[in-house]
């Protein structure tokens, strides 16, 4: 176990667009420590989602490398990446991305069923997580029968299904009212306290960002001020 959960070195992403090249990321260097809650902020189009996707092994960089928990994922093949995503990383998205035909319980149980090294009974695990997120009365509801805030809590439970050391959230409160957004943030903080989970949150929401340990600013594909706002997190 290393203290650094995420290390990005010179991460560059170039995307071809017709005759042009979009420089989505221009050499991002950063380290995120185990157990930190870090906010990534920046204008629309600055590369936040691209960076999150690359950190999470959903996308690969044009240049540079990413280490997750001391393991270089940059040159892994699709099978190896799938395994890392399933076991080490939980994802939370702005629009929840739940499967509409499945109940809350079934949505959360799914990643446990798909784990190669299954550590839990899927149904029991799903129920425990949903109860801990205050959804004990909603186990058998489908997404369309839940509010936005409830759906996002189901999505958080799903992200936690295989007890990953790393949670990544892309605008998790972007589609929620203030109160539901605050509940989502509370949940993420509780998860960190309870399990020591590292949490990376891309957000436009200043209130949410201000509750993190540290804020990284991404502007035009470059990380700026990495060194500035890290006072709240005790690095020892
Ligand atoms: N699949 C893609 N094809 C072409 N351009 C893309 C693609 N994904 C993102 N981009 C471009 O890369 C840049 C960064 O996008 P993104 O990471 O989505 O920014 P953010 O999440 O900060 O709004 C933008 O200029 C965007 O238009
Ligand atoms: Mg985005």
Return the H-helix or E-strand segment holding 54.
helix 48-55
Those residues with Cβ within 8 angstroms of residue 119's Cβ, 6 or more apart along the chain or in another chain: 112, 162, 163
pLDDT of residue 2: 54
* Half-sphere exposure in the Cβ direction for 23 (13 Å, CA): 9
Residue nearest to atom 20 of ligand 1 (CA): 45
Ligand 1 — pocket residues by CB below 6 A?
Answer: 15, 17, 22, 24, 42, 44-50
Of the candidates 203, 135, 132, 194, the one whose C-alpha atom is nearest the C-alpha of residue 168 is 203
CA of 109 to the centre of ligand 1 (A): 32
Of the candidates 125, 5, 16, 20, the one whose C-alpha atom is nearest the C-alpha of residue 56 is 5
Domain boundaries 36-59+77-224, CATH class: alpha beta
What is the per-residue pLDDT across 70-103, written as a single tens digit (0 to 9) for each?
999 998 999 999 888 888 999 999 999 999 999 9
What is the per-residue pLDDT across 6-47, written as a single tens digit (0 to 9) for each?
999 999 999 999 999 999 999 999 999 999 999 999 999 999
Assess contact for 198 and 100: CB atoms under 8 A.
Answer: no
Place of tokens 């509010």: 147
Extended beta strands in 79-179, E state: 89-92, 166-170
**SS3 label, residue 82:** helix
Residue among 12, 14, 17, 24 to mutate when testing ligand 1 (max atoms within 8 A of CB):
24
What is the per-residue pLDDT across 162-194, written as a single tens digit (0 to 9) for each?
999 999 999 999 888 888 888 888 899 999 999
Per-residue pLDDT band for 225 (boundaries 50, 70, 90) equals: low
Nearest-atom number in ligand 1 for the CA of 17 is: 4
pLDDT at 195 over 60: yes
pLDDT at 230 over 60: no
Nearest-atom number in ligand 1 for the CA of 43 is: 22
Residue nearest to atom 1 of ligand 1 (CA): 15
Place of tokens 């991305």: 97
Tokens of 233: 């997190």
Residue ranges per domain, the chain?
Answer: 36-59+77-224
Those residues with Cβ within 8 angstroms of residue 194's Cβ, 6 or more apart along the chain or in another chain: none
Tokens of 223: 């990380």
The crossing angle, in degrees rounded to 10, of helices 104-114 and 148-159 is 20
Place of tokens 């393991």: 71
CA of 13 to the centre of ligand 2 (A): 15
CA of 145 to the centre of ligand 1 (A): 32
Residue nearest to atom 24 of ligand 1 (CA): 45
Nearest-atom number in ligand 1 for the CA of 47 is: 17
DSSP letter (8 states) at residue 25: E
**SS3 label, residue 198:** strand
Residue nearest to atom 11 of ligand 1 (CA): 24
Mean pLDDT value across the chain: 90
Assess contact for 61 and 54: CB atoms under 8 A.
Answer: yes
């Amino acid at each position: 176990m290393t203290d650094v959960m995420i290390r990005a070195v010179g991460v560059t992403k170039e995307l071809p667009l017709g005759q042009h090249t979009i420089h989505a990321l221009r050499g991002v260097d950063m380290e995120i420590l185990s157990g930190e809650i870090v906010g990534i902020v920046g204008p629309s189009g600055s590369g936040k989602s691209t960076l999150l996707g690359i950190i999470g092994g959903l996308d690969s960089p044009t240049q540079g490398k990413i280490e997750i928990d001391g393991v270089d994922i940059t040159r892994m093949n699709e099978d190896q990446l799938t395994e890392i995503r399933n076991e080490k990383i939980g994802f939370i998205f702005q629009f929840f991305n739940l499967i509409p035909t499945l109940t809350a319980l079934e949505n959360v149980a799914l990643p446990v069923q798909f784990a190669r090294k299954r550590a839990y009974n899927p149904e029991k695990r799903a129920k425990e997580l949903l109860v801990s997120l205050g959804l004990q009365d909603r186990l058998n509801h489908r997404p369309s029968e839940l509010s936005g805030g409830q759906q996002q809590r189901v999505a958080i439970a799903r992200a936690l299904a295989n007890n990953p050391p790393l949670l990544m959230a892309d605008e998790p409160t972007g589609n929620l009212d203030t109160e539901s957004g605050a509940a989502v943030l509370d949940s993420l903080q509780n998860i960190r306290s309870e399990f020591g989970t590292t949490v990376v949150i891309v957000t436009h929401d200043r209130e949410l960002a201000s509750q993190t340990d540290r804020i990284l600013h991404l502007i035009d594909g470059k990380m700026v001020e990495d060194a500035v706002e890290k006072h709240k997190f005790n690095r020892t």
